[in-house]
Amino acid sequence: MSDAQPPWPARLSPQAAGTVKELPDHAREMLRDVLDIAGRDPWSFPPFNPRDPEGEDVRSASVGQLTAVYWINRPAGRLYVVDIVWLG
């Protein structure tokens, strides 16, 4: 029996959902993979602003040209994607 926790599901803000619609297909796949990794261990990516001790649950997951800023919603047990940036 494994002690592995199920991944945290991700919800998108209205702004992030609008950005997803404009992404090319390969960027959508990359976002899906990044959120899958973040969902397995939400604290694996660095804080969005490391100088803010109260903002430890706001994280920035960056891979290549893609950045997803998410908030770890501990009570709900999910990630809330605040913004997506695609430099492509």
Asked whether the whole model's pTM tops 0.75, one would answer yes
For the chain, which domains are there? 10-86 (3.30.2310.20)
Confidence label for 8 from pLDDT (cuts 50, 70 and 90): very high
Whether 60 and 67 have beta carbons less than 8 Å apart is answered as yes
- Return the closest-CA partner of residue 84 out of 9, 21, 8: 21
How far apart CA 4 and CA 82 sit, in angstroms, is 27
Per-residue pLDDT reduced to its tens digit, 20-69: 999 999 999 999 999 999 999 999 899 988 899 888 999 999 999 999 99
Whether 25 and 38 have beta carbons less than 8 Å apart is answered as no
Confidence label for 2 from pLDDT (cuts 50, 70 and 90): low
pLDDT at position 54 is: 86
pLDDT at residue 4 is higher than 80: no
pLDDT at residue 74 is higher than 60: yes
How many helices (H) and strands (E) in the chain?
A: 2, 4
pLDDT at residue 5 is higher than 90: no
